[in-house]
Homo-oligomer: A and B are copies of this chain.
Amino acid sequence: MAFNDFGKIFRITTFGQSHGVAIGVVIDGCPSGLPITKEEIDRELAFRAPGNNPYVSPRKEKDEVEILSGIFEGQTTGTPIALLIRNMDADSSKYESTKDLYRPGHANFTYLQKYGIFDYRGGGRASARETVARVAAGAVAKKLLSHYGIMLCSFTAELGGIAIEQPPFSCLTELKAKVLKSELFCPDEKIEAKWKEKINEAKADGDSLGAILQAVVTGLPVGLGDPVYSKLEANLASAMLSIPATKGFEIGAGFLAAKMKGSEHNDAFGTDEFGNARPVTNFAGGTLGGISTGLPLTFRVAFKPTSSIQKVQKTVTVHGEGKEFSLPPGSRHDPCVAIRANAIIEAMSALVLADALLLNRCAKL
């Protein structure tokens, strides 16, 4: 596991397992002079944390960051920013009994085969708990982006097979407010109601659901992204597929583009209100040749249903013995992991974009 870092200049290195002492991140390469507070980071952690509604895990991850280094008198100093989040609500005992079972949909199988050892408590490093470090780092990246007028919003776009209509992106503050008001981060109240039914059904059945999240970024200048292997969409795809439970990524028209004709998909060029050349439609989703066009960046991420379910599943032990396995009723798992992943998607997107923003300073003489 040699590559627990992400980014080139604005680069994070994360550490920590689900039931270890702490989860943390070192942000290396953040420019000096950025004002950032513990409160701003905690706010993002809260966005990610399980809420107190019936649609997410009842675990209490009241996460709070400790700033260990890199910030002095309220500003970044250019030195590495280390952020620590202690693990609190971790009850490891219940993992003892299943530690020799390969759990369907889980990574203990591959970790054990690869490393010969696995911290089985709560999923170890393979647990989505790991993403709290990403969200903490993302808070700093978001602050940097906001300094340059760049804003991000991720929301749930499809759940249990029911999709929302594409919301308008003209005012992202408005969209973001709507999304944050929803327990499922859904900008459409009617659809949200249907999703809640779906979730209630799945929960009652001891089952789980998948979903698709969508992200929008506005305020990007033209020019972010470094072809050919660091195309903006390549870096975003890598970022998204590194999030636990993700199964797909698409930008702009995405997989639908495969069904379109060139004359339908090509975005014509025109001029914007300031006379700048810009594409007039946005099937491309905000990039051309891997470089941002100045139009909103839009992409979608597919999440598989939560692997931890209460239904009986077939499996084997590490000794090859066949077993049946099911989580006991009352297990504290999200019925749909995607919901809380909106915070992670925003964080990872912010990391990709902060890095691209800095790298772009080196493009011209």
A92 CB, min distance to chain B CBs, angstroms: 11
Q: B residues within 8 A CB of A358?
A: 362
Assuming the A-B contacts A1-B363, A248-B249, are A15 and B104 also in contact, with contact meaning beta carbons closer than 8 angstroms in the complex?
A: no
Of the listed stretches A25-33, A39-47, A186-194, chain B binds: A25-33
Give the contact-size bracket for chain A. Answer: 35 or more
Tell whether, in the assembled complex, residue B269 and residue A72 are in contact, meaning their CB atoms are under 8 Å apart: no
- In angstroms, Cα B3 to Cα A228, docked, is 7
Find residues 222-265 in chain A having any chain B CB closer than 8 Å to their own CB: 222-223, 225-231, 233-242, 244, 246-255, 257-265
Tell whether, in the assembled complex, residue A320 and residue B275 are in contact, meaning their CB atoms are under 8 Å apart: yes
Tell whether, in the assembled complex, residue B77 and residue A261 are in contact, meaning their CB atoms are under 8 Å apart: no
Tell whether, in the assembled complex, residue A267 and residue B79 are in contact, meaning their CB atoms are under 8 Å apart: no
Q: B residues within 8 A CB of A110?
A: 222-223, 225, 287-293
Q: Does A80 touch B at the CB level, under 8 Å?
A: yes
Within 8 Å by CB of A105, from B15, B210, B284, B308, lies B284
A205 CB, min distance to chain B CBs, angstroms: 8
Q: Does A106 touch B at the CB level, under 8 Å?
A: yes
Within 8 Å by CB of A69, from B20, B77, B284, B289, lies B20
Q: B residues within 8 A CB of A303?
A: 257-258
Of the listed stretches A52-60, A165-173, A174-182, A311-319, chain B binds: A311-319
Kindly supply a per-residue 1/0 record for chain A positions 275-313, scoring 1 wherever the CB is within 8 Å of any chain B CB and 0 otherwise. Answer: 111011001110111111100000000111111110101
Tell whether, in the assembled complex, residue B252 and residue A114 are in contact, meaning their CB atoms are under 8 Å apart: no
Q: Does A183 touch B at the CB level, under 8 Å?
A: no
Chain B residue nearest to A13 (CB atoms) is B13
Q: Does A343 touch B at the CB level, under 8 Å?
A: no
Assuming the A-B contacts A26-B26, A69-B17, A115-B363, are A227 and B263 also in contact, with contact meaning beta carbons closer than 8 angstroms in the complex?
A: no
Q: B residues within 8 A CB of A363?
A: 1, 31-32, 78, 114-115
- In angstroms, Cα B119 to Cα A21, docked, is 29
Tell whether, in the assembled complex, residue A209 and residue B291 are in contact, meaning their CB atoms are under 8 Å apart: no
Q: B residues within 8 A CB of A258?
A: 158, 161, 210-212, 247-248, 302-304, 338
Tell whether, in the assembled complex, residue A364 and residue B33 are in contact, meaning their CB atoms are under 8 Å apart: yes
Kindly supply a per-residue 1/0 record for chain A positions 1-41, scoring 1 wherever the CB is within 8 Å of any chain B CB and 0 otherwise. Answer: 11111101111011111001111101011011110000000
- In angstroms, Cα B271 to Cα A318, docked, is 11
Q: B residues within 8 A CB of A338?
A: 258
Q: B residues within 8 A CB of A10?
A: 2
Kindly supply a per-residue 1/0 record for chain A positions 328-365, scoring 1 wherever the CB is within 8 Å of any chain B CB and 0 otherwise. Answer: 00000000001000000000000000000011111111
Q: Does A136 touch B at the CB level, under 8 Å?
A: no
A96 CB, min distance to chain B CBs, angstroms: 13
Kindly supply a per-residue 1/0 record for chain A positions 54-94, scoring 1 wherever the CB is within 8 Å of any chain B CB and 0 otherwise. Answer: 00000000000011111011010111111010000000000
Tell whether, in the assembled complex, residue A116 and residue B247 are in contact, meaning their CB atoms are under 8 Å apart: no
Tell whether, in the assembled complex, residue A119 and residue B268 are in contact, meaning their CB atoms are under 8 Å apart: no
Q: B residues within 8 A CB of A320?
A: 271, 275-277
A95 CB, min distance to chain B CBs, angstroms: 12
Q: B residues within 8 A CB of A9?
A: 2, 9, 359, 362
A158 CB, min distance to chain B CBs, angstroms: 6
Q: Does A155 touch B at the CB level, under 8 Å?
A: no
Give me 8 other A-B pairs in contact (C-beta within 8 A), A2-B226, A3-B8, A234-B237 excluded. Answer: A4-B26, A15-B79, A33-B364, A106-B289, A110-B287, A115-B363, A247-B255, A271-B316
